[in-house]
A and B are shown apart, each in its own frame.
Chain A
Amino acid sequence: MKALLRFEDVALRRGGRLLFEGLSFHLGPGERLQVTGPNGSGKSSLIRLAAGLLRAERGRVDRSPLAVADDGVALDREQPLGRALQFWNASPERAMDALGLAQLALVPVRLLSSGQLKRATLARVAASGAPLWLLDEPLNALDSDGAKKLGFLVEHHLESGGAILAASHQRLGGEWRNVELRP
Chain B
Amino acid sequence: MIGALILRDARRAFTGAAWLPIAFFLLVATLVPFAVGPDAQLLGRIGAGALWIAALTAALLPIERLIEPDRADGVLDQLLLHGVADETIAVAKIAAHWLTFGPLLFVAAFPAAALLHIDGHALARLLLSIWIGTPGLAALAVAVAALTAGLPRAGSIAGLLLLPIAVPLLIFAAAFCAEGSNQAMALEAAISILLLAGGPFVGGAAIRAART
Contact = CB atoms under 8 A, between A and B. Distances in A.
Contact of B74 (A66, A74, A76, A87): A74
Interface in A70-91: 70-78, 87-88
A68 to B, nearest CB: 6
Nearest to B75: A74
A78 to B, nearest CB: 7
A78 B12 contact: yes
Interface string A99-136: 00000000000000000000000001000000000000
Interface in A4-42: 14
Given A53-B211, A73-B73, A74-B73, A68 B78 contact: yes
Contact of A72 (B4, B12, B77, B212): B77
A64 to B, nearest CB: 12
A70 B74 contact: yes
By CB atoms of chain A within 10 A, which of B77, B80, B82, B211 has the most?
A: B77
Nearest to B69: A77
Contacts of B12: 76, 78
**Interface size range on A against B:** 20 to 34
Nearest to A15: B212
A88 B74 contact: no
B82 A53 contact: no
Contacts of B8: 76, 87
A15 to B, nearest CB: 8
B36 interface: no
* Chain B facing A: main interface SS: helix
Interface string A165-176: 000000000000
B35 interface: no
Contacts of B75: 72, 74
Most buried by A among B8, B72, B75: B75
B74 A73 contact: yes
A75 B77 CA distance: 12
Contacts of A52: 80-81
B182 interface: no
A114 B73 CA distance: 14
A74 B77 contact: yes
A3 interface: no
19 contacts: A14-B212, A51-B81, A52-B80, A52-B81, A53-B77, A53-B80, A54-B211, A54-B212, A68-B77, A68-B81, A70-B74, A70-B77, A72-B74, A74-B74, A76-B8, A76-B12, A77-B73, A87-B4, A124-B78
